[in-house]
Structure 1
Amino acid sequence: MIAKPSTPETMGDHEMPFRGRMLVGLDGRRLDEGIIRYAAMVARAMHPICTQRELALVRCAPCSSSLRRSPSIASRPEHPPAEIRFVSVLERQSDSAASHRATLAEQVDQHFPCLDVPMDVRSDLLKGRPFARLPALAADFDSDLLLLDESLGPRRRCARLAITAPSSVWLVPRGWAPVLRRILVPVDFTAQSLAALQAAFDLAGCFPTAKCIALHMTRSVGRLQSDPLTAARRRELGREFDHFAAGVESHGVPLEPRFVAGNRLGRATEHAARQTAADLTVLVSRRRAPLAAWFSTSEVEAVMRDCPGPILSIRSADPPLGLGEAIQRRWHEAEMPQFG
């Protein structure tokens, strides 16, 4: 069944991740200059979208202990100046901490020389496991966007963090080129996917040659073999898509719709991302409580786990999905929404 297309007014129920506070999690075991170049690209893309930008770079290394919340992160002015904050999350305090900070600062200075907004540069050192410390730090920092180096751990753990973190999450594979030419957006004709499509247009509008590709998957009748879409069905989907896409501001960015039949959104998105050589996949997801994430599967988590390349999971403004609601949905809904 195709969901009723959303109206533009419904997009206000979902937060865009570009208000200006971005946290970048780096692998503290080996500093990757590529993720810093990518962060610089994101910061430049964010400038036309937001009026205030704060960028914090976090360098993480595994540790069995924890550290108390940093006062410099927990308490901040109501309207702080734009800043770059370096936070190295290391296994233990050592003599190499100073050199780690110096190397990180040197590489950031190299790739952030010409940002349009003046920034105050700060550095902090923290201890902890990346997947435990980063969500807490994002909450302390009041982050809008958590940019993650995929080498922090297994991709499945990064995908799980993306649906439990308090902010939007942008997952970047190590060594990925900092370019946005083709942005893939899975859509199911709901308000959530409408918000994802608008965010993709906002990003693509910052790059002259960029285009957006909207992927809509219809459920196959059989589970073992996908049913081909007939020409009449494609025309019907085309009309529904045109009505759906009329609710976004394209900024003159080209849009290519694609319709596929299947039963697994993660697999369909993976195939489309490889086929189109997408530089980024954008979705909107509702935050899940940790226990609810284990009990109730998420299509967004499956996409982030299976799909190659960078993925931006925009946090929905809906309240987090708790365990009680997850159980109720699992027992009473025959088919979960694609992006629920």
Structure 2
Amino acid sequence: MALIKKIFLLAFLLGGLATGGMLYWTSQPIHNGPEAIDFSIKSGSSVRSAGKQMQEAGVPLNPLLFELLARVTGKANKLKAGSYDIEPGKTPADLLDKIVNGDFSFVSLSIIEGWTFQQMRKVIDSHPSIQHTTAGLSDTELMRKIDADFAQPEGVFFPDTYLFAKGSSDLEIYRQAHSSMLKKLSEAWTNRNHLLPYKTAYEALTMASIIEKETGQKAERTLIAAVFINRLRIGMLLQTDPTVIYGMGEQYKGKIRKHDLLTDTPYNTYTRTGLPPTPIALPGIASLTAAFNPAQSDALYFVAKGDGTSHFSDNLTEHNRAVNKYQR
């Protein structure tokens, strides 16, 4: 009988030591290195597999103890697949909570106002934290993949800084940027002034893209919009260089010649009236707002003054004087 008591006592002490050791382990920092350690857990992974994946990724963690912790706390079946990082000083308990809560590690990607869609694709294709699923797809195939109603991708993605979990598919970013542009365009179209000479919201988007490429001065965008809208109303050629450049494609080498202005393309607004067939860039919110809210102005012309601003004129005589003053 005394032996049995001793055995029970020993078991109790060992259990206490084990419990104490486990509690101590769960409260100690996993690592104290200078930087966070990145790791990923694959979809469908068991808690044992998740522990091994973390260890293989460089997390100094005992997979068996991590599995025991997850099972004892009832969280073994609640782990969420995804990309994570473990910061210096975090404990196994912190790590388990992070994975259970799906506290993924996020990175950012910036799409700049005025970029073309090809520039946007190049940046997304080269981002190291994205799962690249669209490489090799044509623009048309990519648009089909995101269920877009547009065959041409130019202009229909909103330039912004996007946050996403590491390992996200590039399609998620395209969908997010496209959805954001559709929402902003729809709101602007719903609240538009019906006297504006746009037949569709897409025409307004095209105008916004031209405004985006014509000036970097936010204060001038509504005046730029007024000039082009005034021209549209009277059937006057828009004669805007950025559309010509866009139509030239790879033939553009940094300078427009007279020959280029006379060479007809669908985007040459010196040879064709009205708006070009598609946007020519990704317009930001300031240009989109200007396209729907032009300044109250009779201006039909503008010329760069050389200091980043422009001189606006209501008639050709005044415009020619301004050209002589600022450019000749």
Q: TM-score normalised to the size of structure 1? A: 0.21
| Structure in which a larger fraction of residues adopt strand | 1
* Greater relative CO, 1 or 2 (CA 8 Å, sep 6+): 1
Structure with greater Cα Rg: 2
